[in-house]
Structure 1
Amino acid sequence: MSLSVDTPPVPELEDVVDPNEYDDAEVIGDTDYRRDQLEELLRDGAWADAFERWRATTDVTAEEWQIVLDLDLLAQFDFFWDDFADRVGYHAPGIPEDWKERALHPEIDSWKTVSSINAGLTELGQTACEVLKDDYITWESEYEAPDDLPDF
């Protein structure tokens, strides 16, 4: 399936949340999350490249995508550098479990819609991480393993 929509603006990355506060991320050790550098790379084409790759294969429908835009979910994406793991980490936004009680959007009418949107945003985040790491990031991890690790 393919989603025929315009590439949305790049999410602004802010240093307001420690990635360890997310349920879906764990960063070991002190690290420079490099959000400014990652945002610059996203603006330099990584976001457009990732979105194009994701859009070509996503199962998110045009109606579901409109819900994402209406709720401004893309602004809640967070990307950060995890030096210990030598990877780009991310936090994908999503529709909360209490969506029914909160009446978040009139077009959200089933768990299927919620699941599709949440899975699609997770896939978009993962794709953006892969594009950043594989095609844009030129720095090396600064983490050095201790000298006393056993040889296997």
Structure 2
Amino acid sequence: MGLDVEPPEPPELETETDIEQYDDVEVSGSNDAHRNDLDAFLREGAWEEAFAEWAASSDLDESEWEIATDLGLIERFDFFWDDFADRVGYHAPGIPEDWKERDLHPDLDSWSTVSAINAELTELGRIVSDRLKADYVDWDADYEAPDDLPDF
């Protein structure tokens, strides 16, 4: 299907953000999340490249995209280095379960719309994360496994 919209500005990564606050993220190892480096990579082109890849296959329509941008969800993405897994981790923002009670947006009227937006934002986060790791990250994981791990 595809989504024909201009890429928004990349999210600004906050160096003070505690990764442990996210319910959907589990990180072990170093606390050095390399956010300054990742933020620079996003601005150097990783965000725009990944966004174009995502938009080309996105199932969102323009009205759903407008809801996501109106709610400021794009600005709430977070990307960080997960040393233990040797990957760029991410937290994708989403519309909360109590969206109806909170009357978040006048055009938000169904669970299927909420689900579609949340799923597509998660996919965008994955694509950005993969792009950062594949084409921009130039450091290796510092984590070394303990010597007493069993052989399988």
What TM-score comes out, normalization by structure 1 length? 0.96
List per-residue Cα deviations over 1:55-80 (Å, max 9, x = no partner): 00010110000111111111110111
SS at match of 1:88: strand
Matches of 1:128 and 1:147, distance apart in 2? 34
**How many residues are treated as equivalent by the alignment?**
152
SS at match of 2:46: helix
Aligned residue type for 1:55: A
List per-residue Cα deviations over 1:82-115 (Å, max 9, x = no partner): 0011011111011111111111000001001100
Matches of 2:109 and 2:145, distance apart in 1? 50
State the superposition RMSD in angstroms: 1.0
Aligned residue type for 2:28: I
Partner of 2:10: 10
- Stretches of structure 2 lacking an aligned partner (at least 5 in a row): none
Matches of 1:96 and 1:150, distance apart in 2? 42
Residue correspondence of structure 1 range 87-98 to structure 2 within 5 A: 87-98=87-98
Partner of 2:124: 124
Is 1:105 paired with 2:110? no
Is 1:30 paired with 2:34? no
SS at match of 1:134: helix
Q: Aligned residues: percent identity?
A: 61
Matches of 1:71 and 1:127, distance apart in 2? 21
| Deviant stretches of 4+, over 4 Å | none
Aligned residue type for 2:95: I
Matches of 2:36 and 2:24, distance apart in 1? 21
Structure 1 residue 20: Cα displacement = 1.9
